[in-house]
Structure 1
Amino acid sequence: MTAIRTNNVQPNAQSGSQIGSQADFQPLGISHRPSPTETLLASLKAKNTPAFIGYLPYGFPDAQGSLEALRCIVENGVDIVEIGLPYSDPVMDGPVIQSASQIAIAQGERLEGVFEAVRTVAQAGAIPLIMSYWNLIFHYGVERFAAEFEAAGGAGLITPDLIPDEAGEWIEASQRHGLDRIFLVSPDSSAERLAAVAKHARGFVYAASRMGVTGERATLSASPEELVRRTRQAGVSNVCVGIGVSTPEQGAQVGSYADGVIVGSALVHTLLDDTGTKVRDLREGLDALTATTAALSKGIHEARR
């Protein structure tokens, strides 16, 4: 999987043997950087506290506003930030995130700008992840993306539509740059699929609490707890649950058994008006985002107390 250095090895004039430094025979491009995500989750586990993982799309409501929103959620209790890359065909996203993505695209959002968002999250003191459909990364250039992401202080990539069987190029690039590989599992994932994810994941595994698109839900089923159990049984150390969590009570419910609780639509919703299709005044939106984030943080972080 990783290239072996064979150059710079010169014949010995006297014995005819080859000489070269030990590095000449070592694999190239393996990073030994510990996973920042795993390090944080381990520290929270030691306190018997689940992580609060918050999602916001880059470029929404605009480039500068999205940076302010990202700082806002970190300051109000988010431990790990999923920075979404808006996409024109977001098949997994519900109406709230679809609206936000369309607004970001209309504002001229481009992948190149997301690295500033990564730096913003890192400087604010949280772990920055990017969540993206694979097509965007593939066309940008997998190695180019990984190198720029690492340089910006990124920790890992969540790929909702990329399975380990088809992720060879990303697995190699992430190993070179010390980046986490966060794959998704769902209630209908087979034991074989869970085992494949366990083998190749780094950071945590994203357990989708139900089949279907993202979005806020009034109630949550019991299936995510069973999925967490099965995923851990497959050998995964960290399992975080998302899709549908929208209230502090739901956050506490999931946080009682999961290593992290992922919230997206409930945060994004605060920056939209009552129609759910247009941006509200940024100051008002940030005030609402502050209140929602703080309430969710309390519910999640106190889930086991």
Structure 2
Amino acid sequence: MEAATSTNQSLFIPFITAGDPSAEATIEIALALEEAGATILELGIPYSDPLADGPTIQAASKRALKGGMSLEKALKLVPQMRKSGLTIPVIIFTYFNPLLQYGEERFVNEAAELGIDGLLVPDLPYEESEHLAQLCEDHHLSFISLVAPTSKQRMLKIAERSKGFLYCVSSLGVTGVRNELDPRVYDFLKTVREASKIPTAVGFGISSNEQVKVMREHADGVVVGSALVAVIGEREEALKNKETRNSALYEIKKFVTSLISS
């Protein structure tokens, strides 16, 4: 993780849902994203009640769950990605309930053994995350913190303890494509960036090349989720079919290139 976040390169962190539209396609999508310029991959664990996610990622979770994807199966995709040539860090994005049912210690142990680089739990408040954060530190996993535009004192506390990169939420609410971002986000990002010892990446609503360019002026990178997941969802059948998958992967790479080109 340190290598990916310690250079002057702008971070591009795509989010995909494990198992959407299939386990095999997920591996190839991950490889295509690295080829297109991803510096870190967020691999989302499908969940039936994703409170922080809008309809696009909710639909992706439903598709993945219908296909039989689980937390355990998703973790095991990572060494398969590595075997296929993936070199960038992989962050697991999961809600706390599946993690709690799986077992925090069990998860951290297995994640470390399987070559996973970090963990992000969007519904675990900072004030309740100390135990899990310490487990991750003990196993050399980056515990990624989310920081939203709330009180300055709380933002500074989160920034001080964060590892890997600091995920800055562009606006309160759920994920999803937004035509315009709240103008107050710029002051928020300035405050967080000045307080953070690690790179900052902004997400929630980043969906156009123009937004990426603007956000790169105020943060060290961007996280793109819903816009990419929508492109994947539109190509569900093509990605499931080996004969048409390469064409769909090309279209995904083309979308990413258009999104992050300077």
User: TM-score by structure 1 length?
Assistant: 0.79
Query: Contact 2:91–2:118 at 8 Å: present in 1 too?
Result: yes
Which residue is equivalent to 1:294? 257
Residue 245 (1) aligns with residue 202 (2): no
Q: 2:95 aligns with which of 127, 133, 150?
A: 133
Q: Which fold has the larger relative contact order, with Cα–Cα distance below 8 Å and residues 6 or more apart in sequence?
A: 2
Q: 1:173 aligns with which of 105, 110, 135?
A: 135
Which residue is equivalent to 2:218? 257
Residue 61 (1) aligns with residue 21 (2): yes
Show CA shifts across 1:163-185 (max 9, x none). Answer: 22101320221121011111111
User: How big is the shift at 1:89?
Assistant: 0.3
What letter corresponds to residue 152 of structure 1 in structure 2?
L
What CA distance in whole angstroms lies between the structure 2 residues aligned with 1:118 and 1:192? 37
Within 5 Å, give how 1:82-97 maps onto structure 2.
Answer: 82-97=42-57
What CA distance in whole angstroms lies between the structure 2 residues aligned with 1:121 and 1:226? 38
Which residue is equivalent to 2:76? 116
What letter corresponds to residue 163 of structure 1 in structure 2?
P
What CA distance in whole angstroms lies between the structure 2 residues aligned with 1:271 and 1:101? 12
What letter corresponds to residue 237 of structure 2 in structure 1?
R
What letter corresponds to residue 95 of structure 2 in structure 1?
Y
Show CA shifts across 1:3-46 (max 9, x none). Answer: xxxxxxxxxxxxxxxxxxxxxxxxxxxxxxxxx2x332221x2x
Paired residue total: 254
What letter corresponds to residue 187 of structure 2 in structure 1?
E
What CA distance in whole angstroms lies between the structure 1 residues aligned with 2:77 and 2:213? 28
Q: Any idea what SS the aligned residue of 1:129 has? A: strand
Residue 51 (1) aligns with residue 14 (2): no
User: How big is the shift at 1:199?
Assistant: 3.2
CA distance 1:118–1:141, change in 2 (3 Å): same
Show CA shifts across 1:153-201 (max 9, x none). Answer: 11111111112210132022112101111111112x2122113212321
Residue 285 (1) aligns with residue 242 (2): no
Q: 2:107 aligns with which of 145, 154, 172?
A: 145
Higher helix share: 2
Q: Any idea what SS the aligned residue of 1:157 has? A: strand
User: TM-score by structure 2 length?
Assistant: 0.91
Which residue is equivalent to 1:14? none
User: How big is the shift at 1:236?
Assistant: 4.2
Query: Contact 2:4–2:88 at 8 Å: present in 1 too?
Result: no
Q: Any idea what SS the aligned residue of 1:244 has? A: coil
Instruction: Quote the sequence identity (%).
Output: 34
Gaps of 5+ in 1: 1-35
What CA distance in whole angstroms lies between the structure 2 residues aligned with 1:215 and 1:128? 22
What CA distance in whole angstroms lies between the structure 2 residues aligned with 1:257 and 1:170? 30
Gaps of 5+ in 2: 240-244
Task: Give 1 or 2 for the bigger CA radius of gyration.
Answer: 1
User: How big is the shift at 1:231?
Assistant: 1.3
Q: RMSD over aligned Cα, in angstroms? A: 1.7
User: How big is the shift at 1:77?
Assistant: 0.8
Q: Any idea what SS the aligned residue of 1:285 has? A: helix
What letter corresponds to residue 134 of structure 1 in structure 2?
F
